[in-house]
Amino acid sequence: MTSDKQTAGVAAENHVKIFDTTLRDGEQSPGCSMNLEEKIQVAEMLEAMGVDIIEAGFPIASNGDFEAVREVAARVKNSRVAGLARATQKDIDRAWEALKGAEAARIHTFLSTSPLHMKFKLQMEPEAVHQAVIDSVSYARKLCEDVEWSPEDGTRTEHDFLCRCVESAIKAGARTINIPDTVGYTVPEEFHALIAMLMNRVPNIDQATISVHCHNDLGLAVANSLAAVRAGARQIECTINGIGERAGNCAMEEVVMALRTRHDVLPYDTRIDTRKITPASRLVSTITGFSVQPNKAIVGANAFAHESGIHQDGMLKNAQTYEIMTPESVGLTRSTLVMGKHSGRHAFKSKLEELGFRLSDNQLQDAFVRFKELADRKKDVFDEDIVALVDDAVVRHNDHIRFVEMSVVCGSKGPQSAELTLEVEGQRKTARAEGNGPVDAAFEAIRAIVPHEAKLMLYQVHAVTGGTDAQAEVTVRLEEQGKTVNGQGADHDTIVASVRAYVNGLNRMMVKREKTAPPVQAAE
């Protein structure tokens, strides 16, 4: 390990460390999967935002997770990189193996402490759990100077036992004690009291930073995290767009903007460059296929939109009448370049930068070709069109299966049919199929070209802008042997967008199959 960084040890009085777990808990969202390249893109964005600690994955879980943690650890220089491990030597060894190349690393080890989890899940007596906490933290500390320990299901743990485990974990060398509300059960007053209780009762608590990790099952993850900070917590675990297990985790954009906007009553600072919030949200939504609900705080499409007359009147007179923060403060810039069929590559690139995208040359080229095609067909090309189109180009990068062309016969007479050409591992294949409507026929044609077991669980169409020439954005969810993935596609033709989305889902399923291949077992 290299030198101690600002992120190790006890936090400065009013500084709240941001521990982002988009790449670990976020990736545990049903339907979510990121490949290595995508994880690196997200990690680089998090580093650029000023995230203190990036939890890059759970290295024992799969070879894909191990490689992702190792690559992120090797590349990221300005944030600490953490890897998750259960309370076993093989998990901790595997995490350290992935992390040891990092400029600043953290092993995050956890063990359930609630009666319910100990009895039914771990099938361990409390004494054995307590001993395992000491053993796992001590072992991790032999490898890495920065160790975080979490009592899983902390908010449903008996207080005496929680205090005892926390004290022992600190004695064993944990520098951060993270209190997870694993099932999103607590409420702000109760969580505040729990953190205050730990601050008062655990004798060596001042040797560690208290962290919190809140889930959103009751929609309280952000409120609970803020209550904990008021009680003395100085690290918040969160994810971009609040993605994560079940209803998700505390949303980074919300908690950071709450601290910034209400600094008068919450006088705590983070290192986050809030102008990177919108691009980060877009990147994560594109990569995971999880669209952001329009009324989502901070990053939803409507978060800064004003439609009713009285509000618009107020906004024209003084924006503060209806805006408690500026769109610019979260990186939402008002458009300066109007795009159309006469726009060139330079303007397109500038527009993408204005919208917060950073594309490789190949992605830029793909997106530009599609932009020109769209501009030829569509009178007004809005920012939303460009976002949808670029999302599509980014998503499709490195695909094994690619859409080439398609024609459909549809209408009320039937039978509806589709003739589709895909490129599979570089080879063109064509199939014709009939179906119950053109989308069904097109999906049948995909199944004929790429036979697979996955079932279509969800099919959703959304118009990117108004007007009959609007682009369609389609989301599908596929399920195969209990594993789910989301696929997204955009096109001015709804059926083509549907095929793009389905093909994207199949590509993601291939990544998921690779990632869930049995992990290489480290020696016990």
Ligand X SMILES: CC(C)C(=O)C(=O)O
Ligand Y SMILES: CC(=O)SCCNC(=O)CCNC(=O)[C@H](O)C(C)(C)COP(=O)(O)OP(=O)(O)OC[C@H]1O[C@@H](n2cnc3c(N)ncnc32)[C@H](O)[C@@H]1OP(=O)(O)O
User: Which residue has the closest beta carbon to Mg ion?
Assistant: 25
- 249 belongs to an annotated ligand binding site: yes
- 273 belongs to an annotated ligand binding site: no
Size of residue set near ligand Y by CB under 6 A: 16
Question: Is 111 a residue that touches ligand Y (CB under 6 A)?
Answer: yes
Q: Are 445 and 420 in contact (CB under 8 A)?
A: yes
DSSP-assigned beta bridge partners for residue 420: 406, 431
Q: Where do contacts with Mg ion occur on this chain (CB under 5 A)?
A: 25
- 216 belongs to an annotated ligand binding site: no
> Pick from 319, 342, 292, 223: which is nearest to 486 by CA?
292
CB of 35: closest distance to ligand X in angstroms? 22
CB of 148: closest distance to ligand X in angstroms? 9
> Pick from 91, 131, 123, 130: which is nearest to 107 by CA?
91
Choice from 60, 499, 509, 511 touching ligand Y (CB under 6 A): 60
> Pick from 230, 219, 218, 148: which is nearest to 189 by CA?
230
CB of 238: closest distance to ligand X in angstroms? 12
Q: Which amino acid is at 272?
A: I
DSSP-assigned beta bridge partners for residue 106: 82
DSSP-assigned beta bridge partners for residue 150: 110
Question: Is 179 a residue that touches ligand Y (CB under 6 A)?
Answer: no
Cα–Cα distance for residue pair 360/465, rounded to 1 Å: 27
Question: Is 122 a residue that touches ligand Y (CB under 6 A)?
Answer: yes
Q: Using N-to-C axis directions, what is the helix angle for 221-231 and 252-261, rounded to 10°?
A: 50
Chain-centroid distance of CA 191 in Å reads 25
Q: Which is nearer to ligand X, 136 or 178 (CB)?
A: 178
Q: Which is nearer to ligand Y, 246 or 455 (CB)?
A: 246
Question: Is 121 a residue that touches ligand Y (CB under 6 A)?
Answer: yes
- End-to-end alpha-carbon separation of the chain, Å? 23
CB of 163: closest distance to ligand X in angstroms? 18
Cα–Cα distance for residue pair 521/524, rounded to 1 Å: 8
CB of 50: closest distance to ligand Y in angstroms? 25
Phi then psi dihedrals of residue 472, to 5 deg:
-100, 140
Q: Which is nearer to Mg ion, 64 or 154 (CB)?
A: 154
150 binds, options ligand X, ligand Y, Mg ion, none, Cβ within 5 to 8 A by partner type = ligand X
Q: Where do contacts with ligand X occur on this chain (CB under 6 A)?
A: 25, 84, 110, 150, 152, 178, 180, 182, 213, 215
- 213 belongs to an annotated ligand binding site: yes
DSSP 221-286: HHHHHHHHHHHT--EEEEBGGG--STT-B-BHHHHHHHHHHTTTTS--B----GGGHHHHHHHHHH
CB of 78: closest distance to ligand Y in angstroms? 26
CB of 62: closest distance to ligand Y in angstroms? 6
Site string for ligand Y, 192-231 (x = CB under 6 A): ----------------------------------------
* Residue ranges in contact with ligand Y by CB under 6 A: 25, 28, 58, 60-62, 86-88, 110-111, 121-122, 152, 182, 245
Extract the annotated binding site for Mn(2+).
25, 213, 215, 249
